[in-house]
Structure 1
Amino acid sequence: MKNNEVQMGALYAGFAYFLWGILPIYWKYLNHVNADEILANRVIWSLFFMLCILLSTKKWHSLITTLKGFRTNRKQLYALVIASLLISTNWFLYIWAVNTDQMIEASLGYYINPLVSVLLGMIVFKEKLSPAQYVSFGLAFTGVMILTLSYGRFPWIAFVLALSFGLYGLTKKLIKVDSAIGLTLETLVVTPIALLYMTSLFINEKQAFLNGSVSTDLLLIGAGAATAIPLLYFAKGAQKIPMSMLGFLQYIAPTITLILGVFIYHEHFTKLHLLSFMFIWLALTIYSISRTKLFVHWETKWKRSRDVGI
């Protein structure tokens, strides 16, 4: 890869993670709307926005071709449905967590997500962990246990966010499509449910959308763009940079969310919270370093010298 390509890729991916990090501010402006209605609008308007994007970028035919391919490839179709349900669950819980003043726990979910993904890879694909990754898991587990003791309960929001996104990533491996088409298809699957839900709200006159507040209407419509734009930047950036760099950049989003939760929205953050996060940050540092080419090269040399010694 050329240096200027890598720099541009890092800029695109970094900006995507920055947008994901500040997304809670957007949801906070909608905290007077139920999380389920926000989710329904997010799904519907994301589909609308992505269809416009596909039309403008002339990817419409690729979408049709992919849809036709599902007739013969049932495995991909089932994976798409599961991925749609998982990402919808993740979106709902994240919106609900943000708007019930639990941003700190939500940020924890995205900090531990890479480790959960590795664990899923170990269980599903029988991938082997390096000694450094075992140490990372031990430290992260300690951090979660400290948080559990400080809360007096298991941090289930963080765990479900990490698990749902980890499983989503797992199912996405089975769907070999462009990221823009992927998001379009995922929202297409759950849009009928979202439309039925919105219809029931309108029938019972319980909806916030089109109920007198223009600012609320615009924010709900804008949820589609707020969902799609970071993903498009991420897709553009991920193509140009190595995975090790992407691994470091992914911590931008939960770090911004944590800062917002503590310093802007003044959520409860104790010394035990800090201790817990320090364990998790150390775990992630070790994990991220263990994925770099230099560390892998050093570890391979160490294993060879150990084998020779034996």
Structure 2
Amino acid sequence: MQTHRVGNALAAFSFMLWGLLPLYYQFLPQANINDLLALRIIFSVPFMFAVMVILRRRMPSLATLWQDKRSLLMSALAGLIMCVSWYAFTWAMTHDQVLAASLGFFINPLFAITLGVLFLKEKLTLAQKAAVVLATMGIAYQVWYYGELPWISLIMGSFFALYGLCKKFIRYDALTSVTLEAALLAPIALAYVLITGFMGTSTALASDSNTLMLYIGSAPITLAPLIFFALAISRTSLTMVGLMQYIEPTLQFLLAVFLFGEMFDEVKAISFGFIWLGLILCSLEAISKMFHRPVRPA
């Protein structure tokens, strides 16, 4: 019981940190997203190595990693997919589109449900079917009214769901796979930084020291929640994690509307309403299952 309480607290804390990330990016308005992505990847590697040494007292051997080539390949693919999702997220954070990021994370579970059906042969419950239909209606309403798709939200939600699907096929532990994802992409990111630095086209390297440190700081500031999440996942149930994941987009939604003053008009209210209704149905179903588990005979 004590372990579950610790796990729940760690999970809630990780989602709170993710939800408060928009506050950090307010110090980097109109940031060069390519520079930001490259520096985040590069500095993620030493940061994750340090975390693994502190928490594990050792690093996994290269021979052990090489033995599982499928996991190695899937880690590289997961890293590439995460780059797309993170690129969209960062663009939203630095271009006054926090509400779009919030929508992306609200619809992510529904993309995950769909991928589970398509690739993992999972069966949809009645509540999940209703949630997918309601989310489709919410997005369709925005498209009908605005005449365009909410691309940033859709890219974030779908690619983060694809990232989660890749994780299903990786047998390394969470910290090792996250470290590998950055390490495998680091040479490309380093080459980009060196080339743009040499050509004098790097916004980050040409900025003042405080701004440069903010670029570099995006690595630990975005990885810290992931570490707490990795520590939580083995200490609590996936059901609780699934319910608490809505802390993140809820905080981002509140920041966008009440602190950053982003427009939340009637169209978005109706669109979000459809999606929230679907998520409420899924959450109520999950809670019902938690409290009505069959008792196993002794």
| TM-score (ref. length: structure 2) | 0.92
Does residue 254 of the first structure (1) align with residue 249 of the second (2)? yes
The one of 40, 46, 52 equivalent to 2:50 is 52
Does residue 88 of the first structure (1) align with residue 83 of the second (2)? yes
Residues in 2 aligned to 1:63 and 1:292: alpha-carbon distance in whole angstroms:
41
The one of 245, 258, 262 equivalent to 2:240 is 245
Residues in 2 aligned to 1:112 and 1:209: alpha-carbon distance in whole angstroms:
32
Whichever residue aligns with residue 215 of structure 1, its letter is N
Aligned to 2:172: 177
Residues in 2 aligned to 1:81 and 1:193: alpha-carbon distance in whole angstroms:
12
Does residue 79 of the first structure (1) align with residue 77 of the second (2)? no
Which range moves more in the overlay, 210-219 or 52-61?
A: 52-61
Aligned to 2:197: 202
Superposed, 1:1-310 pairs within 5 Å as: 2=1, 4-58=2-56, 60-70=58-68, 73=69, 75-211=70-206, 213-292=208-287, 294=289
Whichever residue aligns with residue 38 of structure 1, its letter is L
Aligned to 1:305: none
- Provide structure 2 residue ranges, at least 5 long, that are not aligned to the other structure: none
CA contact (8 A) 1:24 1:98 kept: yes
Whichever residue aligns with residue 209 of structure 2, its letter is V
1:68 Cα deviation from its structure 2 partner: 2.7
| TM-score (ref. length: structure 1) | 0.89
- Provide structure 1 residue ranges, at least 5 long, that are not aligned to the other structure: 301-310
1:297 Cα deviation from its structure 2 partner: 5.1
Q: Between the two proteins, what is the percent identity of the paired residues?
A: 34
RMSD across aligned positions (CA): 1.9
Residues in 1 aligned to 2:194 and 2:140: alpha-carbon distance in whole angstroms:
43
CA contact (8 A) 2:76 2:180 kept: no
Residues in 2 aligned to 1:273 and 1:78: alpha-carbon distance in whole angstroms:
40
Larger radius of gyration: 1
Aligned residue pairs total 294
Residues in 2 aligned to 1:212 and 1:295: alpha-carbon distance in whole angstroms:
52
Structure 1: 4+ residue segments shifted above 6 A? none
1:28 Cα deviation from its structure 2 partner: 2.3
CA contact (8 A) 2:138 2:275 kept: yes
Give SS of 1:267's match: coil
Residues in 2 aligned to 1:272 and 1:56: alpha-carbon distance in whole angstroms:
48
Residues in 1 aligned to 2:74 and 2:247: alpha-carbon distance in whole angstroms:
29
